[in-house]
Chain A
Amino acid sequence: MQKYSGFGLLKHALSHHENWQRVWRNPTPRTHYDVIIIGGGGHGLATAYYLAKEHGITNVAVIEKGYLGGGNTARNTTIVRSNYLWDEAAHLYEHALKLWEGLSQDLNYNVMFSQRGVLNLGHTLQDMRDIQRRVNANRLNGIDGEVLDAKQVQEIVPIMDCSANRRYPVMGASWQPRGGVARHDAVAWGFARAADRLGVDLIQQCEVVDIQVEDGAATAVVTKQHGTIKAGRIGCVVAGNSSVLAQMAGFRLPLESHPLQALVSEPIKPVLDTVVMSNHVHGYISQADKGDLVIGAGIDGYNGYGQRGSYPTIEHTVQAIVELFPIFSRVRMNRQWGGIVDTCPDACPIISDTPVENLFFNCGWGTGGFKATPGSGHVFAATLAKGEAHELAKPFSMYRFYDGALIDEHGAAGVAH
């Protein structure tokens, strides 16, 4: 595989950039793989990469119904942070954040990870108490964080209205300087290219229609385009469609699929150099390198697989953004879309074995999976390689919904998305 470098860019300039290699192969599937990963989004591709890199398992296929990174990976608002309240979640997301910090070098692919800091605003006294508790918990877990007052917030974001006479005045914020954003497409492409280089087969346009189970163990996947493909172990990383795949294998998950939408504005000059999130008025915003304001909304309350969101939800979100940033009131919105997120009752993921042997699920990331992409892939790869949960993944078993050991991050983590 070609190594990307500044020198390579110069060299290819001499031949008018016409001789770049294809970024990955387009293989015909074999009849048997040691591990099949269903779902070619960021988490699935990261899983395949770490399986090959960390565990030497290269007879691996990633099976994707559409194209790589075309689902929620391409639909999120790209925010990365690890300031979660509970130890189990904080450790998992911090594991991911540490991988993010070396990811471009590791993959030899620029994922444009920009640690521009994340603000989680507080608008009420109770918000500020929760923020203090969370920042203290973060610091005890070795995660960077500070509690800021309104004046300090104003210094970081001069264009935000932090005056005391707003309906929901900004009273302060938590500030995680190591948080930031990354280019979501590049994350999928970088993992795909690196996994392909290590021998993983990336099979696109291939829909799984059934999972074969014999004597309580999964043995193969049945695909619409390429027939039956046998597998030693199967990992499902399919976000909103997790319940559909679980049903194929004959069990249910504690998940509900909801549309979650986001929108971007027309490109404008640089005006916002950090990430601002507000749980209370429910809006979050950052500015992409090409100038678009990237705005995230909440989920629609009803179950849905339609990949489009409702208008009232957009309206509420834009109201919140304009309340915080009156300067944006006349910015025009360019595009709006929805992704299907698999929400868990405790707002934490499921990384788990299942009632079916050799079948594992990595799902339930709900509204906040992008930030965990490398960490999720890393621990799920270990889980698939060894057949038992990675140390960091153990608390995230689906059986916690039987024994009651939930990790209640709802509201606690400033859990916008």
Chain B
Amino acid sequence: MFHIYCPYCEEHREEEEFHAKGQAHIARPPAPDDCSDREWGEFLYFRDNPRGLHHELWVHAAGCRKFFNITRDTQTYEIRETYKIGDQPAVSTNPDQ
């Protein structure tokens, strides 16, 4: 059972209040009509899906209903940080940094 710190509520709450929404920081192409099928397909469907650290988007569905980001290890399930939408992660998924 995760205890997740919501950066808006500024409290730890139980996993069931939240929903995971997949990979974070996916930028919508600024001009969708100019995208090739490949670029648009990559944006819609292709994901990093790492075994290890992952930046992901969550929503506090049964709480403040705001979206925020989590950096989490997908193997140990350790939550390294949570941060607001628009902020950048402090923990890098690149092991070299």
- A residues near B (Cβ < 8 Å) are 241, 243-244, 247, 252-257, 301-306, 310-312, 345, 401-404
Contacts and interface: CB of A to CB of B under 8 A. Distances in A.
Contacts of B77: 304, 306
Interface stretch (B15-23, B26-34, B80-88, B89-97): B15-23
A244 B48 CA distance: 9
A257 B23 CA distance: 12
Contacts of A301: 19-20
Contacts of B19: 301
23 contacts: A241-B51, A243-B51, A252-B42, A252-B49, A254-B41, A254-B45, A256-B22, A256-B47, A257-B49, A302-B72, A303-B49, A303-B56, A304-B75, A304-B77, A305-B51, A312-B1, A312-B15, A312-B16, A345-B44, A401-B44, A401-B46, A402-B38, A402-B40
A252 B46 CA distance: 6
Contacts of A252: 42, 46-49
B75 A306 contact: yes
The 7 residue pairs across chains A and B that have the minimum distance between CB atoms = A302-B20, A243-B49, A254-B45, A402-B41, A401-B45, A301-B20, A252-B46
Contacts of A256: 22, 47, 49
Q: Among B22, B49, B75, find the residue whose CB has the most chain A CB atoms closer than 10 A.
A: B49
B15 A402 contact: no
A296 B13 CA distance: 27
B63 interface: no
B41 A243 contact: no
Contact of A254 (B15, B16, B46, B76): B46
Q: Among B37, B54, B74, find the residue whose CB has the most chain A CB atoms closer than 10 A.
A: B74
B96 to A, nearest CB: 15
Contact of A401 (B22, B41, B48, B56): B41
A408 B44 CA distance: 15
Contacts of A404: 37, 41
